[in-house]
Amino acid sequence: MEAGAVICVVFIMSKQTTYQARLPDSQGVIQYPDNEHEIWQALYDRQKGNLPHYACDAYLKGLEDLALPADRIPQLGEIDAVLQQATGWKTAAVPALISFEKFFQLLANQEFPVATFIRSKEEFDYLQEPDIFHEIFGHCPLLTNPSFARFSHEYGKLGLAASKEERVFLARLYWFTVEFGLIRQTNDELKIYGGGILSSPGETLYAMSDTPVVKPFDLLDILRTPYRIDIMQPIYYAIDSIDYLDEIVKMDIMGAVTKARQLGLHAPMFEPKSKAS
């Protein structure tokens, strides 16, 4: 079964990795071998047909602005040139796995972590480590959007100041927005803005089907909702517009975290991992 998409580095708790990030040469260029460019092209080709139907308008505009190459892995400098002009953001090359602290620190500095490796053919459909396709194709287009960029920046600052226990609850907010968020556009049309969905053809089609539960955004509800990283998500939360991310930033997020910790989590909508097929 194809599980959920690769996930953002903040939610990987294990320090074990089977991948090694590639380093730039003396000219600052990462020399990827041809077979890795071919994997990028195959991933890009497989998902590009879904995007006009299912991706939100802000993502599609960002994808157009980035002008990502379809036949090769882009250099981070190409991405930075667009992001810096649009919202002041840039990418930061990182190893496959980084700590919570480093993740929040980067976002607070308006730097988006990108692991400079791409998945193998054996893990084409699913891997638990965030590769460059997930980070660049899934997330960077929306970092050209001011509301999404502000939300990511404020989230980083909150996480940097939070305790270890509070960060566990903050992770759920990121999961159900930046990674697996949906949006209702004109005429109540449901679209995708979460990068975890947009970088996964299987999750894209699943999220747009009648199978999962789709609920309106509710901060406290989200903070109390358990998730698993290795399955299709049984529940998604939808915001009313990409600009609604600015409204979330104005909410008392840490106050809601305190209340969520007091109330405890909702019953999960999935089996424990040990019992799941």
- Is 163 a catalytic site residue? no
Look up residue 44 and give its two tokens.
Answer: 């890009």
Q: Out of 111, 129, 139, 200, which one is annotated catalytic?
A: 139
Tell whether 139 is in a known binding site.
yes
Tell whether 53 is in a known binding site.
no
Q: Out of 153, 179, 200, 203, which one is annotated catalytic?
A: 179
- Is 179 a catalytic site residue? yes
Return the number of other C-beta atoms located less than 10 Å from residue 163's C-beta: 8
Beta strands in the chain, from DSSP E residues, in sequence order: 90-94, 111-115, 182-184, 190-192, 213-216, 235-239
Neighbouring C-alpha atoms within 13 Å toward the C-beta of 56: 30
Q: Out of 111, 199, 200, 203, which one is annotated catalytic?
A: 199
Sequence-distant (6+) residues with CB within 8 A of 267 are none
Look up residue 50 and give its two tokens.
Answer: 């879904």
The CA-based diameter of the chain, rounded to the nearest angstrom, is: 53
Return the number of other C-beta atoms located less than 10 Å from residue 17's C-beta: 15
Among 239, 244, 249, 245, residue whose Cα is nearest residue 183: 239
Active-site residues, by number, are: 134, 139, 179, 199
Bind-site residues: 134, 139, 179
Bind-site residues for Fe cation: 134, 139, 179
